[in-house]
């Protein structure tokens, strides 16, 4: 995808959704960190259902620790991998209290030192909670970046780095959400909804299907 086309691509997404937001429900940076940690290999819908009751009872590191492993698991057992996620969250809460006065740190290094927090989770927290122009490459963004020709790459890190290089700075803050929402609802894995796509004219995949219906 050419540079000028990339600008049109994001300007179009911006016009359709000027203020994109995460679909995870949260009120504080700690609630966001918790929700993102729980969302690995799970849907935002399932996480929101679990945190709806969890956050009413416990929404600080100290309160989560006071639940204990069994108490925490009881609230998140509907989410995949809840055993390991519960352990990681409890460990994270202890570190937040011991090293960060109970607050969520705003640096990548500190976030990635927390159990269960990888680069993608850290990028989400840095972007959503602290307004940093990061790109968290999940399965939707990885697929979309390669399919459209926006930022092809063989690994999530390669796609992230390509996106950061190619996206105009004016769009970087919200680019993560525009891409993930577009990949989740329009540029879907099995059957991309090209007939509903506002940026179809920018997309290499669409161009290929038009020129060769067999693809």
Region of residue 134 (phi > 0: left; psi between -120 and 50: alpha; otherwise: beta)? beta
- Please tell me the number of Cα atoms within 13 Å of 102 on its side-chain side: 8
Q: Which position among 138, 169, 206, 208 bears the catalytic label?
A: 138
**H runs (alpha helix) in 77-155:** 82-99, 108-112, 119-128, 139-148
Q: Which position among 120, 169, 206, 208 bears the catalytic label?
A: 120
Contact call for residues 122 and 111 (beta carbons, < 8 A): yes
Would you state the structure tokens that stand for residue 101, as one six-digit string? 């006065």
- To the query of whether residue 120 is one of the catalytic residues in this protein, the response is yes
- To the query of whether residue 77 is one of the catalytic residues in this protein, the response is no
Active site residues: 120, 138
């Amino acid at each position: 995808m050419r540079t000028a086309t990339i600008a049109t691509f994001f300007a179009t997404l911006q016009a359709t959704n000027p203020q994109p937001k995460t679909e995870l429900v949260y009120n504080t940076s700690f609630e966001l960190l918790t929700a993102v940690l729980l969302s690995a290999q799970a849907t935002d819908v399932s996480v929101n259902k679990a945190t709806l009751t969890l956050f009413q009872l416990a929404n600080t590191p100290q309160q989560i620790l006071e639940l204990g492993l069994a108490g925490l698991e009881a609230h998140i057992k509907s989410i995949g991998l809840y055993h390991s996620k519960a352990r990681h969250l409890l460990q994270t809460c202890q570190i937040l209290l011991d090293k960060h006065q109970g607050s969520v740190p705003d640096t990548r290094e500190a976030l990635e030192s927390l159990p269960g927090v990888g680069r993608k989770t850290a990028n989400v927290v840095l972007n959503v909670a602290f307004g940093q122009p990061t790109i968290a490459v999940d399965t939707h963004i990885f697929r979309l970046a390669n399919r459209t020709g926006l930022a092809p790459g063989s690994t999530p890190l390669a796609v992230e780095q390509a996106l950061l290089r190619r996206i105009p700075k004016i769009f970087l803050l919200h680019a993560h959400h525009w891409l993930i929402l577009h990949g989740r609802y329009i540029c879907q894995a099995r059957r991309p909804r090209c007939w509903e796509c506002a940026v179809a004219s920018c997309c290499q995949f669409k161009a290929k299907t038009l020129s060769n219906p067999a693809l």
